[in-house]
Amino acid sequence: MKMQKPTYEELERRVSDQGDEIVKLKADIQTLKESGEKYKVLIESALIESEAKLELFFSQSLTGFFFMMLDEPVEWNDKVDKSKVLDYVFKHQKITKINQAMLDQYGATEKEFIGKTPNELFYHDIPYGKSIWKDFFDKGHLHIETDERKFDGTAMFIEGDYVCLYDKVGRITGHFGIQQDITQRKIYERKLQESEVKFREYTQSAPVGIYITNMNGDCIYANRKWLEMAGMNMEEAKGKGWINALHPEERQSISEKWYKSVESNGNWGYEYRFMNREGRVSWIYGMAAPLHDHEGKTYGYLGTNMDITQRKKAEEELRLRENQLSDLNATKDKFFSIIAHDLKSPFNSIMGFSDLLIERIREKKYEGIEKFTTVIQRSSQQAMDLLVNLLEWSRTQSGKIEFNPEFIELSTLIEEVRALLENPASQKNIKIFHYKHPSLVVFADKHMIGTVIRNLISNAIKFTKPGGQIKIKTAEQDHEVMVAIEDNGVGIKEENIKSLFRIDLDYSTHGTSDEKGTGLGLILCKEFIDQHQGKIWVDSRAGEGSTFSFSIPLQK
């Protein structure tokens, strides 16, 4: 399609429009130029202000700052001889700018410091200095703690951070450094290390167990003595492993007490037991106190353990001796009581009624003679029973009674004792029923068991009212032989039952025919049953009667 040529008027209009655009464009350019000049001024002003602030920070900072620039940039890559480059660097890299804090570190003036080279700074150890510089240039940055010298030769420790400076083509032009004097910190660290070494030396040679835990109760240190007591090595004790050193019966309770003391931030002190892997038990007295940091915050516990096993044994021995002494005193008191009163009483009756009997016979007055002889006979029997028990008891106390067990038929032995006591029972019109257990054989000391049965039947006769009855029963159960002697007599009050079978508690009462008892027979019964590793007990109600029972192990 053929394009039509524009008319003159159209061309003139287009030129006019373009002229307006050019004028507008020129105006915009002029505006930009003016704005650019303003921005330039603002940027330059901001730059000057920033440099002033940086200079102020540089000069007033308490941390040392410095620039160390090379006379000429150096290449630093695998293609160059780094040893030769370092030779050049140590001669031609110089301090060009430094702040007052840095000068104070070295005890120097700016005049003395500006222009110093690495050779001068590391004069005391050039090889060491070059090794640091090589590592620094390899990485482009460096953090280090090192020992240096002040200008007067005094040693100091420096902690520094350094950054390499590069030109546009990657060559090193120098570096910027920040460093501070950490000599005091290093001294404190060294003292702390020495203190820790001494602590370990002292604690390892200590005669008591020493340990340290954190706030979670995890063991982080234990000395040789503690590990020896616990039967562990340090690896086994670490963390919560120390709990395994406790006796199984005490692990939970002691652990709970420990954590309660931690929660209250208080001291701790208890007696408990250790048990090692071989089963050896030892008594321990443990104490612990909180450890505090410089702000007073608790960060752990320091504890000590003392082996008090020997002390515990001594205390137990002392308690045993005290009990023995108490028993001996009770035995002595009982013995003198029997001699002074209980044995004297029947003999007084015998002597008194004997005199009356002699007098009546001389006067040929025979009335009441039978009553007198009955009293004499009863008192004699009472004195005889008491003397027999007293003799038996004294022999047990002196250890002169031998324990001679043999196989005996229990029913036969009971029947023999029952026959001996038939007469005093018949005098009170008391019936004794023996429920025989056929072929019940026990392995026991015949004399001792006979004495036990005799005393129990005698007591039953004494405390059963005339016309009453006594039942003797035997049974075999749970690998034991049990004998029960039951009466329907006066019984025993509940509060008095605990006094039976005990030498240290005095309890006696009169029988239904005013028979006097000492309680010695029951004490003797208990000692004989204990010899057989058996048990003896009583079931009784006041006014209804009593059942005295004993059992001894059955041996096939």
Q: What is the biggest distance separating any 2 CA atoms in the chain, rounded to whole angstroms? A: 198
pLDDT recorded at residue 492? 82
Choose which CATH entry (3.40.190.10, 3.30.450.20, 3.30.465.10, 2.60.130.10) describes domain 205-307: 3.30.450.20
By the 8 A CB rule, do 227 and 237 touch? Answer: yes
Place of tokens 């061309």: 11
Considering the segment(s) 402-553 as one domain, its CATH architecture is 2-Layer Sandwich (3.30)
Place of tokens 């002033």: 52
pLDDT recorded at residue 1? 45
Task: Name the phi and psi angles at 350, rounded to 5.
Answer: -60, -50
Neighbour tally for 184: CB within 10 Å: 10
3-state secondary structure 141-199: EEEEEEEEECCCCCEEEEEEEEEEEECCCCCEEEEEEEEEECHHHHHHHHHHHHHHHHH
By the 8 A CB rule, do 428 and 513 touch? Answer: yes
Q: What is the pLDDT along the chain (556 residues), one digit of tens a residue?
A: 445 555 555 655 555 555 566 666 666 666 666 665 665 555 556 556 655 665 665 667 778 889 999 999 999 999 999 999 999 999 999 999 998 888 998 888 988 889 999 998 888 789 989 999 999 999 999 998 888 888 888 889 989 999 999 999 999 999 999 998 998 888 888 888 888 888 788 888 888 999 988 888 889 899 999 898 888 899 988 888 888 888 888 888 887 887 777 777 777 788 888 888 888 889 989 888 888 888 888 888 888 889 988 888 888 888 888 877 776 666 666 565 555 555 666 677 777 778 877 887 887 777 777 777 777 777 777 677 667 766 666 666 655 567 788 899 999 999 888 887 887 888 888 899 988 877 788 899 888 888 888 889 988 888 888 889 999 999 888 888 999 999 988 888 877 777 777 655 555 554 455 555 556 778 878 888 988 899 999 988 888 888 999 999 987 5
CA pair distance 232, 244, nearest whole angstrom: 9
pLDDT recorded at residue 199? 78
Q: What are the helix and strand counts (H, E) for the chain?
A: 18, 17
CA distances from 10 to 7, 23, 262 (A): 5, 20, 100
pLDDT recorded at residue 512? 52
Q: What region does 174 belong to: left with phi over 0, alpha with psi -120 to 50, or beta?
A: left
Task: Name the phi and psi angles at 514, rounded to 5.
Answer: 65, 25
pLDDT recorded at residue 334? 59
Question: Which CATH fold would you assign to the domain 61-181?
Answer: Beta-Lactamase (3.30.450)
CA atoms within 13 A on the CB side of 269: 4
Q: Give Cα 256 distance to the centre of its chain.
A: 9
Contacts of 271 (CB under 8 A, 6+ apart): 283, 284, 285, 286, 308
Per domain, the residue ranges of the chain are: 61-181, 205-307, 402-553
Domains 205-307 and 402-553 share a fold: no
CA pair distance 532, 405, nearest whole angstrom: 9
